[in-house]
Amino acid sequence: MGLLNFIKDVGEKIFGGSEANAASPENLQKELEKHGLNAEGLDISVDGDKVTVKGNAATTADAEKIAIALGNTLGVATVDNQLNTANAEAESNFYTVIKGDTLSKISKELYGDANQYMKIFEANKPMLSHPDKIYPGQVLRIPQ
């Protein structure tokens, strides 16, 4: 998967995280569990604002969701996603939300059809709870 970039001064505020540094590996693991993502057996390490995650994920989609859940937290600038997947699939593209964006607008821009916004919403569940709840700086998975 490789290195993903995030805006470190936006995102979910979790205990121990600040604009300067990411939260502890333990608290980041709890963040994954909060979203119902399987964090069992993952090796999460933090070096300032860089998070590295190693281990195994069931699918490419799971690996991508783990990376964006970690990266969309306050204090994380990069996630080095070194997860292995049993069933490799085509990787998604990623999109950083800007002010004024909606899932429909992003869908129109990337797919040519505003009505495909639910595809983006579904690809980012459970981190997104509602199609209207996105924020500038948030990184989203954009499936092929």
Q: Which domains does the chain have, with CATH numbers?
A: 2-87 (3.30.1340), 93-142 (3.10.350.10)
| Predicted pLDDT of residue 29 | 94
- Indicate the burial class of 95 (C-beta count within 10 angstroms; 0-12, 13-18, 19 or more): middle
Cα gap 106→55, rounded to integer Å: 32
Can you say whether residue 11 is alpha, beta or left, with left for phi > 0 and alpha for psi between -120 and 50 degrees?
Answer: left
Measure the CA–CA gap between 93 and 144, rounded to whole angstroms.
7
Q: What pLDDT, in 10s, does the model give residues 1-52?
A: 788 888 888 888 887 777 778 889 999 999 999 999 988 899 999 999 999 9
Q: Give me the mean pLDDT over the 72-94 stretch.
A: 91
Instruction: Give CA–CA dist 115/37, Å, rounded.
Output: 27
